[in-house]
């Protein structure tokens, strides 16, 4: 199987280890990886702040780059949610019929990483070993947008040596919300304080907090200085 990796601008800038971990994992599972250097941003930040034309430009670029790929793997729930939830509206508003057709054909081949592993490759045990106590934070986009459900838990539960500790208030938002955390900094910080209020749990875990979203990891590191690796960084350990 062949897959193209859309690393996302956020991971590429702040968490490049995420991309390297995805490549190691998928190659270990026999997937041939393409990386298109012309990739940039999904356009979510532009769309969510009202810059429709700029968001459309990024969406059009994404479709043009990946329309002939076998499948696209994206280690970011929020970027996949942007593609699934907002691209069709952008193309209806600013696109043309050909672009809409190309997008409709591409969309079923776009996967968030845990979806790709469990639904496309039909794999849960990836041969990982991580001898630590771990808890998992579900990002809002993964939980409410993509409805990834128990896929991350199924993957983590198969990691040898890992003890998965339930996180209280799993559905509680970390307060990031993109530009929300900038425009409403005090509210955002209060939400994050509440999310991390279970600090006794964090103190009892050595791997600290697992999260689906790179943005959430940034917020948690800022407040607590916690070790917050992405799940893919765990499931690539051997």
Which residue bears the tokens 């994050």?
Answer: 192
pLDDT computed for residue 227 by the predictor: 52
Radius of gyration for the chain, computed over Cα atoms and rounded to the nearest angstrom: 18
Does 223 have pLDDT greater than 80? no
Question: What is the percent of the chain where pLDDT is above 70?
Answer: 83
Q: What is 180-237 written as a DSSP string?
A: HHHHTHHHHHHHHHHHTT-HHHHHH-SS-EEES-HHHHHHHHHHH------HHHHHT-
Residues 6+ apart with CB under 8 A from 67: 102, 105, 106
Please report which helix (H) or strand (E) contains residue 87, including its range: helix 77-94
212: which 2 tokens?
């689906």
Residue 68 CA, chain-centre distance (Å), reads: 23
Q: What's the pLDDT score for residue 189?
A: 85
Residue 183 is predicted with a pLDDT of: 83
**pLDDT at residue number 209:** 46
Query: Could you tell me if 149 and 212 are in contact, meaning their C-beta atoms sit under 8 angstroms apart?
Result: no
Are 212 and 138 in contact by the 8 Å Cβ rule? The answer is: yes
Position 72 scores a pLDDT of 98
At 216, the pLDDT band (50, 70, 90 cuts) reads low
pLDDT of residue 110: 98
Considering only residues 107 and 188, tell me which one the structure prediction assigns the higher pLDDT. 107
The pLDDT mean for the chain works out to 84
Classified by CATH at the fold level, domain 2-120 comes out as Rossmann fold (3.40.50)
Quick: pLDDT tens for 84-105.
999 999 999 998 999 999 999 9
**What pLDDT score does 154 carry?**
93
Q: What is the tens place of the pLDDT at every residue in 135-148?
A: 888 888 888 888 99
d(CA 217, CA 66): 28
Q: Which of 6-20, 29-43, 183-197 has the lowest mean pLDDT?
A: 183-197
Domain ranges of the chain: 2-120, 133-235
Q: What is the mean pLDDT of residues 13-39?
A: 93
């Amino acid at each position: 199987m062949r897959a193209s990796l859309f690393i996302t601008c956020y991971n590429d800038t702040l968490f490049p280890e995420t991309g390297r971990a995805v490549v190691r994992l998928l190659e270990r599972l026999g997937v041939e990886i393409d990386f298109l250097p012309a990739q940039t941003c999904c356009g979510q930040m532009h769309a969510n702040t009202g810059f429709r034309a700029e968001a459309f430009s990024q969406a059009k670029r994404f479709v043009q780059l990946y329309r002939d790929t076998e499948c696209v793997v994206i280690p970011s729930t929020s970027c996949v949610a942007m593609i699934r939830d907002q691209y069709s509206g952008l193309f209806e508003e600013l696109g043309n019929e050909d672009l809409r057709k190309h997008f409709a054909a591409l969309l079923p081949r776009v996967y968030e990483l845990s979806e790709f592993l469990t639904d496309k490759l039909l794999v849960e045990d990836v041969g990982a070993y991580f001898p630590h106590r771990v808890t998992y934070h579900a990002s809002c986009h993964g939980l409410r947008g993509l409805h990834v459900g128990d896929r991350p838990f199924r993957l983590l539960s198969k990691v040898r040596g890992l003890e998965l500790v339930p996180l209280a208030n799993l559905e509680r938002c970390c307060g990031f919300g993109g530009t929300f955390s900038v425009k409403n900094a005090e509210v955002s910080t209060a939400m994050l304080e509440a999310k991390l209020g279970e600090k006794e749990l964090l103190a009892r875990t050595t791997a600290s907090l697992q999260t689906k979203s790179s943005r959430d990891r940034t917020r948690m590191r800022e407040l607590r200085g916690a070790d917050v690796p992405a799940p893919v960084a765990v499931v690539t350990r051997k």
